[in-house]
Structure 1
């Protein structure tokens, strides 16, 4: 009868077991430190909101900041409103900010619509005409004035530094709490900061900052769409016709392509013109569809805070974006703040519908609440 060889259930005593310390498969793996992660998640947990004001409640920021500490304690309702703003700034996890020229005034850059703004003080009080596409590119004298303004704003923006409010937004972006900054400003102060940088032109992945109206820091060819850093030296800023510079300079890249085509015996396709990459009235926004796509995707996120700051919302497209974001944040039981130096018009508030608090005063003072 044949006997089958049966292996022992356990190794014989003569077989040396391999020590677990000699198992190299787990070399390089580090034990997870779960306790610090748990503590961090508890610290970052969003506390319950204990107070919510009535819609369109007005908070005088400048007056509150100027109050001595003892007076702030006596004014209980003002303290509640201030705490509401602090809660929004400290604990919101997914914020959207729509900013206007008022954010950069403290840096030394004028706004547009105030009595000291560009519209009132430039071109004999008709500064708005210098932002009209048909006026600027339909008349040589207006073209020269437009160049003067763009060169002036470019040099001013290069000399100015981001404000405390810009720095605050940058810290929100660094912490991963700022979903998007939609800026109407063309000075580029915000995009100087590392966590508010952007892509010019806009490309995926979507940057933290979306420039709604372009920037004086770039110029673009209307034909080949080549984007370059703004060069003030090539734009004519005087009325002398023998000037070596042009009112609307030719594109060097197009000229190079034309030279190559001529050598190759190919027909001419024309040379484009360079212009500051600033969006004007009465022109089609070259990135309008893409910006709309970005905004629609952001609206699908669980937004918990909208801050509208330094703008009167006179641009219909921007007001529409704010209206949609305000409705989304309100539906998510989030917070909508409107920061401005003057009271927003009633028709704007009626359009937005869901503004929790109107914060009147210098937006730079909001940083002192933190």
Structure 2
């Protein structure tokens, strides 16, 4: 006799009474339960047998929406390390002997899937924004135009900027002019080109040393994107924001709050933070000890200043290193900043270990110490970065 426990366990394994058992089916019901193959599967199987029907099938509404995948071609040519490619001369038609190097560069920009871009002031010169270290850069022009400034670099040094009222006013005037210039300037052809690579999900991250924010004027690289995983990392801050040096509260930049002239009747030399003022007033009403009101400064990271977002940038950089980038694109920067140099060295080491590509794009050749830092470049692109999209168009590469 079957035990009650075993009978109960057996009932748990038994299908519910609503299920139709196979032996209860009638012959006429088999037609209704037969599974009809999908039309697409039949069509695809017929294409294998009859290749002549392939074009007709691909034009059908069913398959027209299928994604068309392009296979990555084999790299046929890789130049010797530190080969110099004259970009400007090539697009002008006077360096056709470098056609293989041009093909290599277009291959890297077309088929790399995890590009890390490190760019500097050189990418914004075409937009009318001056760089820093060239003959017409800010360090040179500021020294000659400001009587209080011994070196143009002083206006980007935290210790000098707030050493006196006159230096602070000169700094405020410079930031106000750069803010106005950045607001009226438009992204260059290079910015549009990099944005198109971002839209194709080829760019892992853009590390920009620029404070103008031109790279964030596209929807793909907007400054309003997720702060935890931005497409663009502004290493030196942004001229479009100001922040409190005490509570770190960030605001949209308002140049009218800063005194930009000795005779100006409006603005403060170093404005007070509205958030801190409000907290202080509340603490005063409650009878609590006052903690002081912070001061505002443009959200531009200066020399000898603690980087307020240094830890966040380090986390993103480590994340990008773990993602195994397959290309490093260094554009419009001389890599004079020690922190940026160290970051580029780590990316170059990772890319080289994965047999990726290191591309240098600048109007000047990389000095020997930079070549050593990068463990040499796969290609040194000598010329204006604005000609990169021109090259891609000439090589019939559709972006």
Could you say which TM-score interval applies, normalised by the shorter chain?
0.7 to 0.9
Per-residue CA distance 1:263-321 (angstroms, 9 max, x = gap): 22222121110100000001111111221121111111121111000000001111111
Residues 330 and 354 in structure 1, CA contact (< 8 A), matched pair in contact too: no
Residues 221 and 275 in structure 1, CA contact (< 8 A), matched pair in contact too: yes
Instruction: Specify every segment of 5 or more residues in structure 1 that has no aligned partner in the other structure, as ranges.
Output: 1-6, 22-28
Residues 256 and 266 in structure 2, CA contact (< 8 A), matched pair in contact too: no
Distance, in Å, in 1 between the alignment partners of 2:122 and 2:22 is: 84
Q: Does 1:321 align with 2:343?
A: yes
What residue in structure 2 maps to residue 10 of structure 1?
24
Cα deviation for residue 243 of structure 1 reads 2.5
Residues 188 and 217 in structure 1, CA contact (< 8 A), matched pair in contact too: yes
Residues 119 and 127 in structure 1, CA contact (< 8 A), matched pair in contact too: yes
Q: Does 1:292 align with 2:314?
A: yes
Distance, in Å, in 2 between the alignment partners of 1:8 and 1:253 is: 74
Distance, in Å, in 1 between the alignment partners of 2:203 and 2:32 is: 51
Q: Does 1:252 align with 2:274?
A: yes
CA 1:67–1:12: 2 relative to 1, 3 Å: closer
CA 1:322–1:37: 2 relative to 1, 3 Å: farther
2:390 aligned counterpart, secondary structure: helix
Residues 218 and 230 in structure 1, CA contact (< 8 A), matched pair in contact too: yes
Per-residue CA distance 1:139-169 (angstroms, 9 max, x = gap): 2111111101100000000000001111111
Cα deviation for residue 251 of structure 1 reads 0.7
- Aligned alpha-carbon RMSD (Å): 2.7
Residues 326 and 355 in structure 1, CA contact (< 8 A), matched pair in contact too: no
1:84 aligned counterpart, secondary structure: helix
Q: How does 1:19-34 map to 2 (within 5 A)?
A: 19=32
CA 1:91–1:144: 2 relative to 1, 3 Å: same
Instruction: Specify every segment of 5 or more residues in structure 2 that has no aligned partner in the other structure, as ranges.
Output: 1-20, 45-62, 146-150, 393-399
Q: 1:115 aligns with which of 101, 121, 135?
A: 135
What residue in structure 1 maps to residue 326 of structure 2?
304
Cα deviation for residue 16 of structure 1 reads 6.4
* TM-score normalised by L of structure 2: 0.81
CA 1:106–1:12: 2 relative to 1, 3 Å: closer
- How many residues in Structure 1 have an aligned counterpart in Structure 2? 347
Cα deviation for residue 18 of structure 1 reads 9.3
Q: Which has the larger radius of gyration?
A: 2
2:267 aligned counterpart, secondary structure: coil
Distance, in Å, in 2 between the alignment partners of 1:264 and 1:279 is: 36
What residue in structure 1 maps to residue 236 of structure 2?
213
2:116 aligned counterpart, secondary structure: strand
Cα deviation for residue 194 of structure 1 reads 1.3
Cα deviation for residue 110 of structure 1 reads 0.4
Cα deviation for residue 12 of structure 1 reads 4.9
Structure 1 stretches of 4+ with a deviation exceeding 6 A read 15-18, 29-39
Residues 101 and 185 in structure 1, CA contact (< 8 A), matched pair in contact too: yes
